[in-house]
């Protein structure tokens, strides 16, 4: 169930988007940051830039645990200085136990919800590059199982937004509406 905590007491200084693969975190994040006039960072792109390799290459050459370590490190560093930042994370970041619960005050977490069937359909339309789906003969079954494992962690986000039948602009509008009480457009610099 959506916990909807209502308007935050103080405007958020940063928004972190979490959720399953192909939920639209990057596209929504970029558009949200543009609307707010905030900085946008895509965590996967940041990891790739720093490692000088693509995510499938990191998975293939060093394994998933190494990718998770890079992901945790880059996410922690970005959220240590979160002013006026929209961070789109990869699907595994918000699925780490306690990560959303322990976010510093002022960082609004948003779970972009997507059904596994919709996620796989969207992912197949996009370029390959998701090792956790690409290696399965039945990606829908794999997505269902992975989402079931992760849902409890994603659900700790402060806002839950359904993306299934929406385009990214509608999702951005939903987020802004839900943030409205926090007056995000007048969020201070410091
Ligand atoms: C992953 C999701 C991917 C990427 C990596 C692992 C996951 O990001 O970080 O392939 O564990 O769900 P997207 O959620 O942007 O596809």
DSSP per-residue string spanning 122-157: HHHHS-S--HHHHT-SSHHHHHHHHHHHHHHHHTTS
Measured distance CA(42)–CA(163) in Å, rounded? 19
Cβ–ligand 1 distance for 44 under 6 Å, the answer yes
Give the closest residue (by CA) to ligand 1 atom 1: 91
Give the alpha-carbon dihedral of 106, 94, 39, 82, to 10 degrees: 40
- How do strand 14-18 and strand 107-113 relate by DSSP bridges? parallel
Contacts of 140-143 with C-beta under 8 Å, sequence gap 24+, read: 140/116, 143/20, 143/21, 143/116, 143/117, 143/119
Q: In what order do the strands lie in the sheet with 39-42?
A: 39-42, 85-88, 14-18, 107-113, 159-162
Rounded to the nearest whole angstrom, what is the distance from the C-alpha of residue 186 to the centroid of ligand 1?
32
Give the closest residue (by CA) to ligand 1 atom 8: 90
**DSSP H helical ranges for the chain:** 25-36, 43-51, 55-62, 64-80, 116-125, 131-134, 139-154, 168-179
Rounded to the nearest whole angstrom, what is the distance from the C-alpha of residue 140 to the centroid of ligand 1?
15
Q: From 70, 94, 128, 132, give the residue whose CB has the most ligand 1 atoms within 8 Å, as the site to mutate.
A: 132
Q: What is the pLDDT of residue 131?
A: 84
**Tokens 């200085």, residue located:** 81
Q: What is the pLDDT of residue 46?
A: 98
What pLDDT digit, counting tens, does each position of 53-83 carry? 999 999 999 999 999 999 999 999 999 988 9
Would you say the pTM of this structure is higher than 0.85?
Answer: yes
Three-state SS for 30?
helix
Give the closest residue (by CA) to ligand 1 atom 3: 90
Q: Give CA 69 to chain center in angstroms.
A: 17
Q: Determine the atom of ligand 1 nearest the C-alpha atom of 43.
A: 9
Q: What is the pLDDT of residue 190?
A: 34
Mean pLDDT of each 10-residue bin along the chain, 190 residues long: 53 95 97 97 98 96 97 96 95 97 94 97 87 86 96 97 95 90 47
Q: From 58, 92, 125, 129, give the residue whose CB has the most ligand 1 atoms within 8 Å, as the site to mutate.
A: 92
């Amino acid at each position: 169930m959506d916990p909807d905590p209502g308007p935050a007491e103080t405007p958020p200084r940063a928004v972190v988007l979490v959720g399953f693969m192909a939920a639209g975190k990057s596209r929504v994040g970029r558009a949200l940051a543009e609307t707010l006039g905030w900085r946008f960072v895509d965590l996967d792109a940041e990891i790739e830039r720093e490692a000088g390799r693509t995510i499938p290459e990191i998975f293939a050459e060093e394994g998933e645990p190494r990718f998770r370590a890079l992901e945790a490190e880059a996410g922690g560093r970005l959220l240590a200085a979160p002013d006026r930042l929209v961070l789109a994370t990869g699907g595994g970041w918000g699925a780490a136990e306690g990560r959303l619960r322990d976010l510093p005050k002022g960082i609004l977490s948003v779970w972009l919800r997507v059904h596994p069937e919709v996620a796989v359909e969207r992912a197949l339309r996009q370029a390959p590059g998701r090792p956790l789906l690409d290696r399965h003969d039945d990606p829908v079954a794999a997505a269902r199982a992975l989402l079931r494992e992760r849902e409890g962690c994603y659900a700790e986000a402060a806002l839950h937004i359904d993306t299934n039948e929406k385009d990214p602009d509608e999702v951005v509008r939903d987020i802004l509406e839900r943030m409205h009480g926090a007056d995000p457009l007048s969020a201070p610099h410091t």
